Amino acid sequence: MIGTDINHAAHLLKEGKLVAIPTETVYGLAGNALDEQAVTQIFAVKNRPTFDPLIVHTDSIHKVKKLVQQMPITALDLANHFWAGALTLLLPKRELIPDLVTSGSPLVAVRIPNHPLTLQLLSSLDFPLAAPSANPFGYISPTTAQHVEAQLGDKIPYIIDGGACILGLESTIVGFEGGIPTIYRKGGISIEAIEQVIGEVQVKEHSSSNPQAPGMLKSHYAPRIPLVLGDLVKLIQKNKRKRLGVLSFQKYHLGVPIHHQLILSKQGDMAEAAQNLFAAMRQLDTMDIDMIVAELLPERELGRAINDRLRRAAAH
């Protein structure tokens, strides 16, 4: 069921059931982070391997401090600056966080999401919510309640409808490996914005050989129809015999029916492009086409996170 009844959602969560929640980044599949049975259900519903840990969500820095052993000063600076927001911090966990949540890691990923309904829900609970993106493992993250309903509707009792996600990309994950601020997943808060607050950071690139690494497997966020990246004019020319879908940053191209072309932002605005990216990938994936051709955005600010998702979608 889809709705906006926060009390009903809270009631279900207190009973150990799962609820899909809106955030500013993507929709999450939430359960009581301190209840191993609820967390087990999250992995099962998503069909997610238990070696891929979950982010723990709450609504205040005060509550975060009860989940972690300490916060380095740089972590606190980032938290004060970007929370509630699309920033996830990796910090040493306290005992009360089940090992299942962190896949056995001594670090827990924590975030205060910025969505009024979910903040209201979190403030009414005396436990934090573990919530991965509310999609089957490996598929594109959901940015509307309808996306969640289409794939997980029959597996969970309630989906909170908070409208379309305003950022549209998952949170940026920052850890402090050896005391050095490190980006583990590019996301809704740009590296440039983070560096303005704490100075230079290091960036970990993803790896498929070491799935323990956050941000994880190279092939992810992937549509079922093969997606190929490159110069759109050349790709359209080269694949003339195929039925193509086009995922373009700003403009339409010759040689492909217009209803098979999706534009991320006519104005060339990266925030708008991020907002539209996952919904566009999902829409293309429903078309009667053989292949999706897509182009990268400028490799700066949100463009870096968008390009990361496009590359992973293409790695399928």
Q: How far is CA 165 from CA 136, 190, 215, in A?
A: 18, 17, 20
- Residues 202, 171, 37: CA angle, nearest 5 degrees: 115
Residue window 67-106: x/- pattern of binding to ligand TXA, with contact defined by CB under 6 A: ---------------------x-x-----------x--x-
Please select the residue that binds Mg ion; options are 133, 171, 275, 276, rule is CB under 5 A: 133
Q: Which of the ranges 24-32, 74-82, 224-232, 254-262 carries the binding residues for ligand TXA, by CB under 6 A?
A: 24-32
Query: Out of Mg ion, ligand TXA, none, which partner does residue 190 contact, by CB within 5 to 8 A per kind?
Result: none
Q: Which of the ranges 94-102, 129-137, 253-261, 273-281 carries the binding residues for Mg ion, by CB under 5 A?
A: 129-137
> 129, 112 in Cβ contact below 8 A?
no
Q: State the sign of the Cα–Cα–Cα–Cα dihedral 90, 92, 93, 98.
A: positive
Least distance between ligand TXA and beta carbon 232 (Å): 28
Least distance between Mg ion and beta carbon 313 (Å): 13
Please select the residue that binds ligand TXA; options are 9, 13, 25, 232, rule is CB under 6 A: 25
Partner residues linked to 177 by β-bridges:
180
Beta carbon nearer to ligand TXA, 105 or 239: 105
> 26, 275 in Cβ contact below 8 A?
no
How many alpha carbons lie under 13 Å from residue 191 in its C-beta half-sphere?
A: 18
Beta carbon nearer to ligand TXA, 54 or 119: 54
**How many positions of this chain bind ligand TXA (CB under 6 A)?**
26
Q: Note whether 52 binds ligand TXA by CB under 6 A.
A: yes
- Contacting positions for Mg ion (CB under 5 A): 133
